[in-house]
Amino acid sequence: MDNFGIQEALAELGLKDINEGTSTGSHHFSNGPLIESYSPVDGKLIGKVKTTTQEDYEKVMETAKAAFKEWRVKPAPVRGEIVRQFGEKLREKKEALGKLVSYEMGKSYQEGLGEVQEMIDICDFAVGLSRQLHGLTMHSERPGHRMYEQYHPLGVVGIISAFNFPVAVWAWNTALAWICGDVCVWKPSEKTPMCGVACQNIAAEVFAENNLPEGICNLINGDYTVGEMMTKDTRVPLVSATGSTRMGKIVAQEVAARLGNSLLELGGNNAIIVTPDADIKMTVIGAVFGAVGTAGQRCTSTRRLIIHDSIYDQVKDAIVKAYEQLRIGNPLDENNHVGPLIDTDAVAMYNAALEKVVAEGGNIVVEGGVLSGEGYESGCYVKPAIAEANNSFEIVQHETFAPVLYLLKYSGDVMNALDIQNGVAQGLSSAIMTNNLREAEAFLSVAGSDCGIANVNIGTSGAEIGGAFGGEKETGGGRESGSDAWKVYMRRQTNTINYTTDLPLAQGIKFDL
């Protein structure tokens, strides 16, 4: 295994002694039982990370609150300069971190690098934004009065992230929260704890070099019970959570019960509509990457292809042919297209989905299966599968985090395809492949896609950081990353200033004493 330079990468990221469960950075407060992280790539132990107890959490929160007092008074562009330095450090460590992401999560090295690139990109974005946290000015109805609004930091922002993007989603939240003047407490997925410690180490270096408290960036580890410490904590005004809809519903309720804010980025059930005017070659690339990239474990992965009946067989044949070319194996080997699933529980869910689609009357077009033998010792490698199905099947309505693609047929005009596309509980990403302007515009119109992301002649996955990222319905409604997503990390204050010697009341009310 070592020929892929894993040990060197771990050393570069300060993760060498992690076998003793050494926690580093501000994570040194953690004293709970160890989480062992096994690679889905080869089934080997990567390291052990200490979990956070309630007592540890209290210390983290005290540290974070103290750091907030210092951080919030730094001018936003000064905070931007720190984020710029963090982005520089990420550039230096891109290969090592990309490799760890690939090894601990199982996505291809290319995608691991891509994920670190998203971190770098959001840092650059945040640096520019640090001079643009604009509020509006309004005209007061009263003479000699000035009215405007300003944005202030919120405080401690809690971040709960998923295994599938073990570093980028944290960075989307953190880079914005930092320039907004917030401090962060991050609970990464217990399936990818090493990635969390690696990021904490990189951030800690930057804060130390600038004589800033490391409590601006905090790491806690463990399962959902550790996440719950934040969701129930009134000291955490915003909890940003990425993961399953099941998890999101619990987080939303716990945070709402104390009238906190939550930013939710949950499950998707993303479809590509393929119309008679689609470019078939582009469709195949977009659909296959969308369905098998990251072994189908992106929240933006393509789950459903909605194909017009006039070109159904042609598209089906082309996709099946492309699947025949797929090489499944060690994701650190650049010759492979598809790596492993995260763990054997995910493999069981994949198997169950394939059984269920058959039981519901689906027709398997590309056979799935779990791979065994040399190179597949971890038991996490599966064959990407395709089934012809019906949108009403329970399994098609459900997000299975695995490379299972459902082919659905539509006839007539594009509105029929949109009914199918929108006919699921989730609303994250969507796409249409067409060269027909009318179809494309109908898809983007008020009566079109109901998702947070709607692409034309692009697949469903691989969104750029510059746009707001998130979706509707069971996807949770939150928006992270680009555009004006930063506003969620700040509190808005309306200020009215009277520079006269009179006190006229609004709405013309008379109140003479």
Stretch that binds ligand UN1, among 176-184, 223-231, 436-444, 456-464 (CB under 6 A): 456-464
Q: Active-site residue 111, yes or no?
A: no
- Minimum Å gap between C-beta 223 and ligand UN1 is 19
For residue 109 the two structure tokens come to 């090295």
For residue 273 the two structure tokens come to 């509509």
The yes or no reply on residue 462 touching ligand UN1 (CB under 6 A) is: yes
CB-count burial class (<10 Å; 0-12, 13-18, 19+) for 145: middle
Question: Helix/strand/coil (H, E, C) string of 55-94?
Answer: HHHHHHHHHHHHHHHHHCCCCHHHHHHHHHHHHHHHHHCH
- Minimum Å gap between C-beta 462 and ligand UN1 is 5
Q: Which of 159, 196, 251 is nearest to 51 (CA)?
A: 196
Neighbours of 73 (CB within 10 A): 10
- Minimum Å gap between C-beta 62 and ligand UN1 is 31
Q: What is the DSSP string of 314-376?
A: HHHHHHHHHHHT--BS-TTSTT-SB---SSHHHHHHHHHHHHHHHHTT-EEEE---B--STT-
Given candidates 24, 26, 63, 164, which one binds ligand UN1 under the rule CB under 6 A?
A: 164
- Minimum Å gap between C-beta 162 and ligand UN1 is 6
For residue 341 the two structure tokens come to 């699933």
The yes or no reply on residue 266 touching ligand UN1 (CB under 6 A) is: no
Stretch that binds ligand UN1, among 36-44, 310-318, 355-363, 461-469 (CB under 6 A): 461-469
Nearer to ligand UN1, 61 or 169 (CB): 169
Q: Residue 59 pairs with which residues in a beta bridge?
A: none
Site for ligand UN1 in 463-482 (CB under 6 A): 463
CA distances from 393 to 109, 423, 450 (A): 35, 11, 20
Residues with Cβ within 8 Å of residue 223, at least 6 apart in sequence: 190
- Minimum Å gap between C-beta 224 and ligand UN1 is 18
Site for ligand UN1 in 95-134 (CB under 6 A): 118
Distance (Å, rounded) from C-alpha 452 to C-alpha 473? 9
Q: Residue 427 pairs with which residues in a beta bridge?
A: 472
CB-count burial class (<10 Å; 0-12, 13-18, 19+) for 469: buried
- Minimum Å gap between C-beta 496 and ligand UN1 is 41
Nearer to ligand UN1, 269 or 461 (CB): 461
Given candidates 24, 53, 102, 300, which one binds ligand UN1 under the rule CB under 6 A?
A: 300
Nearer to ligand UN1, 76 or 247 (CB): 247
Site for ligand UN1 in 364-393 (CB under 6 A): none
Beta strands in 463-505 (DSSP E): 468-469, 472-473, 480-481, 490-498
Q: Write 360-369 long-range contacts (CB < 8 A, 24+).
A: 360/389, 360/390, 360/393, 360/394, 360/395, 361/390, 361/393, 362/387, 362/388, 362/389, 362/390, 362/393, 362/395, 362/406, 363/387, 363/388, 363/389, 365/316, 365/320, 365/407, 366/320, 366/323, 368/404
- Minimum Å gap between C-beta 320 and ligand UN1 is 24
Stretch that binds ligand UN1, among 30-38, 295-303, 305-313, 438-446 (CB under 6 A): 295-303
The yes or no reply on residue 298 touching ligand UN1 (CB under 6 A) is: yes
Nearer to ligand UN1, 47 or 293 (CB): 293
Stretch that binds ligand UN1, among 367-375, 411-419, 455-463, 504-512 (CB under 6 A): 455-463
Q: Name the active-site residue from 104, 111, 115, 265.
A: 265
Instruction: Report which secondary-structure segment, H or E, holds 33.
Output: none
Site for ligand UN1 in 221-260 (CB under 6 A): 242
Nearer to ligand UN1, 56 or 265 (CB): 265
Q: Which residue is nearest to ligand UN1, using beta carbons?
A: 463
Q: Is the dihedral of CA 492, 253, 59, 11 positive or negative?
A: negative
- Minimum Å gap between C-beta 121 and ligand UN1 is 10
How many residues at the interface with ligand UN1, by CB under 6 A? 11
Stretch that binds ligand UN1, among 83-91, 279-287, 323-331, 457-465 (CB under 6 A): 457-465
Nearer to ligand UN1, 165 or 393 (CB): 165
Match 């940003």 to its residue by tokens: 240
The yes or no reply on residue 192 touching ligand UN1 (CB under 6 A) is: no
CA distances from 508 to 6, 141, 500, 505, 511 (A): 71, 9, 16, 6, 10
Given candidates 461, 478, 489, 490, which one binds ligand UN1 under the rule CB under 6 A?
A: 461
Nearer to ligand UN1, 137 or 483 (CB): 483
- Minimum Å gap between C-beta 79 and ligand UN1 is 25
Q: Residue 159 pairs with which residues in a beta bridge?
A: 186, 240
- Minimum Å gap between C-beta 241 and ligand UN1 is 11
Site for ligand UN1 in 165-184 (CB under 6 A): 165, 169
SS3 (DSSP) at 144: coil
Nearer to ligand UN1, 67 or 287 (CB): 287
Nearer to ligand UN1, 299 or 382 (CB): 299
For residue 148 the two structure tokens come to 């405007």
The yes or no reply on residue 299 touching ligand UN1 (CB under 6 A) is: yes
Q: Would you name the residues annotated as active-site residues?
A: 265
Give me the residues that bind ligand UN1 (CB under 6 A), please: 118, 164-165, 169, 242, 298-300, 461-463
